[in-house]
Amino acid sequence: MRKILVTGALGQIGSELTTELRRVYGENNVIASGRRIKEGHEKLIESGPFEIVDITKGKDVSEIVKKHNVNTIINLAAILSAVGEKYPEQCWDINMNGLYNILEVAREENCMVYTPSSIAAFGPTTPPDNTPQDTIQRPTTMYGVTKVAGELLCDYYFKRFGVDTRGVRFPGLISYETLPGGGTTDYAVHIYYDALKNKKYTSFIGKDTKMDMMYMPDALDAIVDLMEADPAKLIHRNAFNVTAMSFDPEMLAASIKKVIPEFELDYEVDPVRQAIADTWPNSLDDSAAREEWGWNPKYDLDAMTKDMLDKLKIKLG
């Protein structure tokens, strides 16, 4: 039976993943953790075990893993791309030293480790269209540097110590439960809130900038399905390209207009986040994930838009 520790559980992915894991594996088998308690997450915190864990403190991670007999760590604690450019030192500390602590505890306590990488692990010299699984990775952001180094470190722990490490390269994730934590793809979440509230949105990402994206229910499947995949079938382990759609702001606005015809989009491009987006792929080739563990997303752009607007309408009242 799995005993799972989720770090960064109150973030965009963790707040939904914890609920899904508790449904699949049982409430008491999923230990949610965060650096601090955050307002608005009371329901999640009360729905099963919750611990305060800062992943930069290896001893604390170790104590919680031992206390709950954890055998699987899903490490979601991180600093994302835009915040990482503002605070590069903190980004390195949490994304690298934090990951190192998690892997060391996993080695000592015999745990599986799941850590998401990102499309940020690619850079301006990566082939931008249908980006291959195995290709040039020379990212130019601190977040991207930590993501590619993290992929390598996880591979190393598998090859050198036999730690069962797994992960995907997530594209921008779109969800309605918890707002994103300071990334470049966040515009594709904010646009839905503003579409419902104001019927217009000002995008910080430019008109023709295409990036890969995915709706959260598919992202949760990507975590559980790869975690449960037969290891004998995995050629790659820690950095599977996965994608569900690729769009630019105009294409997203066109999808929203099918539901809210009066919706308007204009632009006030943020040079920092635009520069980051310009170094990321336009679209990924996710055939390795499809072949090795059956990756098959359910939501395309219009299906996601309909569900997002329906669910947000209820949430915003």
Q: Which residues bind ligand AKB (CB under 6 A)?
A: 80-81, 118-120, 143, 171-172, 183-185
In the bound state with ligand NAD, the residue whose beta carbon lies nearer, of 6 and 288, is 6
Q: In what order do the strands lie in the sheet with 50-52?
A: 50-52, 30-34, 4-7, 72-75, 112-114, 165-166
- The DSSP line for 199-225 is SEEEESS-TT--EEEEEHHHHHHHHHH
- Least distance in Å: CB of 313 to ligand NAD? 22
Contact positions vs ligand NAD (CB under 6 A): 7-8, 10-14, 34-35, 53-56, 76-78, 80, 94, 98, 116, 118, 170, 172-173, 180-181, 183, 185
- Our CB check for ligand AKB shows the closer of 102 and 174 to be 174
User: Which residue, 152 or 260, has its beta carbon nearer to ligand NAD?
Assistant: 152
Q: CB under 5 to 8 A by kind: which of ligand NAD, ligand AKB, none does 54 bind?
A: ligand NAD
Task: Give the count of beta carbons closer than 10 Å to the beta carbon of residue 309.
Answer: 18
Q: Which is nearer to ligand AKB, 50 or 143 (CB)?
A: 143
Residue closer to ligand AKB by CB (options 163, 173) is: 173
Phi, psi of 213 (to 5 degrees): -145, 165
Is residue 213 within 8 Å of residue 249, measured between CB atoms? no
Catalytic residue among 143, 187, 192, 201: 143
Residue nearest to ligand AKB (CB): 183
Binding partner selected for residue 167 from ligand AKB, ligand NAD, none, CB under the kind-specific 5 to 8 Å limit:
none
Q: Are 252 and 201 in contact (CB under 8 A)?
A: no
Residue nearest to ligand NAD (CB): 11
In the complex, minimum distance from the CB of residue 159 to ligand NAD, in angstroms, rounded to a whole number:
22
Distance CA(249)–CA(81), nearest Å, equals 19
- Burial of residue 275 (CB within 10 Å: 0-12, 13-18, 19+) is middle
Which partner in ligand AKB, ligand NAD, none is near 7 (CB below 5 to 8 A by kind)? Answer: ligand NAD
Region of 60 (left: φ > 0; alpha: ψ -120 to 50; beta: rest) is alpha
Are 65 and 5 contacting, i.e. CB atoms less than 8 angstroms apart?
yes
| Distance in Å, CB of 121 to ligand NAD, minimum | 9
Contact 82, 273 (CB under 8 A): yes
Select the binding partner of residue 249 from ligand NAD, ligand AKB, none (C-beta < 5 to 8 A, by kind).
Answer: none
* Residue 74 phi, psi dihedral angles, 5° rounding: -105, 110
**Minimum distance from CB of 162 to ligand NAD (Å)?**
23
Q: Is residue 201 annotated as part of the catalytic site, yes or no?
A: no
Active site residues: 143
